Amino acid sequence: MASIVPKANGTYLIRVSCGVDSAGKQISRSKTFKPSAPNLPYPKLNREIEAFVKSFEQELKSEEPSHKPAHDKITFGEFCAQFLEIKKNTLSPNTHVFYSRIIEEDLIPMFGRLKLSDMRTYHIQQFIQYLSTEKKRLDGQSGNICASTVKRYTTVLRSIISTAYKLEYIENDIGRSRRIEFPKEETKEVEAFTLDEVQNILEALESEPWHIRALIEIALFTGCRRGEIVGLKWSDFDLENRTVSIKRSIYKLSDGKAREKDPKTKSSIRTISIPERLCQTLAQYRLQQNRHIAYLGDSWKNLDYVFTEENGNVMHPHTPTRQFSRFLKRHNIRHLKFHGLRHTSATMLLANGCDIKTVSSRLGHADISTTNIYVHALESADRQAAKTFDKIL
């Protein structure tokens, strides 16, 4: 569609959109139109402008073949390089690394030499079939990768196709086709601690150092993700009003260094109310940390992080997992992943009457439907309770 801008000298600037470039920037061409005579009646002026615009668009269309070969000849592999560059500033660092690995290990070997314009829906289905039957598990275990992982890997291919469509390299966004068939996903049971196990954990924490107590209590009472907990700073807490604000997350790349980033989604930036017990634990932990800071003196790096290495640098994001595993082993409590504390926090709140919207907000879920997994877990537990009565009777 053309835009028409009248000029002071009686001429008109005609601007026509020609799509977008490889970086997603709008491309346009413009030309000046001069009426056949000044002060033309509007109907005649309008007809002349329409004829000029039509002629200009035909002129641009006739030039397209000279530009099209680059689009027609570009291979899937060549476009993948552009895709990763475009996504560099929009994907999180870890996600960008994940996309790069899938492209290099799986997509390029399969489709690298294929013309991008020749990609069809059946190629996406072919990739899904490969993942479902031939792709080896990264954990070294036998068997095929699970259905949810197949869908996650396929998201990379569909994102590439969608970006190519937006940049007008291809005419159809075949990645959105409803004809694509995914393997059926099995509903996973949410692994959470029972009420008795939570009581055992809280009792066991009474004999633990303050930093261990603070770490586990924050996970249990807030339901925060591991990276969010490691990224907490003392300035994020308002102990007087009993709240904590989630503003950042800590991640690591293959080099092992801990880095800071924004939380997972916009809804992950949130403020959560915390119980009095956690406030007391944090106050005691702060006193312990201050004594450690005084001992180190100038060697301490004052970065304000709650959980740190010995010198004040931010804690490695994998450290909570190791500390929690050792804690469970010391007290002979059933082993679950550190993430199990997040699941436990959600199921306990729902089981005790907290509405799902509030729980979803505390967890930082972008979509309330994600929180429904905990509702299903409670329904499963309820059915199990009924079966118990059947056995008794």
pLDDT of residue 43: 86
Tokens of 113: 């030499």
Pairing between β-strand 249-252 and β-strand 258-261 as defined by DSSP bridges: antiparallel
Contact predicate 168/19, CB 8 Å: yes
Helices and strands (H, E) in the chain, number of each type = 14, 8
pLDDT at 85: 93
Q: Residue 138 corresponds to which amino acid? A: L
For residue 328, what are the CA distances in angstroms to 210, 315, 342? 16, 20, 16
Q: Tell me, what's the pLDDT at 206?
A: 96
Show Cβ contacts of residue 45 under 8 Å, excluding neighbours closer than 6 positions: 35
Q: What is the DSSP string of 253-286?
A: -TT--EEEE--SSGGGSEEEE--HHHHHHHHHHH
Q: Which of 65, 60, 71, 64 is nearest to 2 (CA)?
A: 60
**Strand 2-6 vs strand 270-273: parallel, antiparallel, or unpaired?**
unpaired
Pairing label, strands 12-20, 270-273 = unpaired
**DSSP code of residue 185:** P
Contact (CB, 8 A) for 252 and 316: yes
Work out the number of other CB atoms within 10 angstroms of the CB of residue 20: 13
User: What is the reported pTM?
Assistant: 0.65
Q: DSSP letter at 191?
A: -
How far apart (Å, rounded) are the C-alpha atoms in residues 120 and 122?
A: 5
User: 169, 171, 175: which is closest to 73 by C-alpha?
Assistant: 169
* The two structure tokens encoding residue 99: 């996309």
Number of Cβ within 10 Å of residue 121's Cβ equals 16
Q: Which residue has the tokens 């005419």?
A: 171
Rg (CA), the chain: 29
CA distances from 177 to 172, 183, 307 (A): 10, 16, 46
**Whose CA is closest to 249, among 270, 237, 264, 271?**
264
Amino acid sitting at position 15 = R
Q: How far apart are CA 347 and CA 336, in angstroms?
A: 15
pLDDT tens track, the chain, 393 positions: 578 888 888 888 888 877 655 555 667 788 899 898 888 888 888 889 889 988 888 887 776 554 444 566 899 999 999 999 999 888 888 899 999 999 999 999 999 999 999 999 999 999 999 999 888 777 667 677 888 899 999 999 999 999 999 998 998 898 887 889 998 877 667 789 988 999 999 999 999 999 999 999 999 999 999 999 999 999 999 999 999 999 999 988 767 778 888 887 777 899 999 999 999 999 999 999 999 999 999 999 999 999 999 999 999 999 999 999 999 999 999 999 999 999 999 988 888 888 888 888 899 887 776 677 776 666 655 665 565 556 654
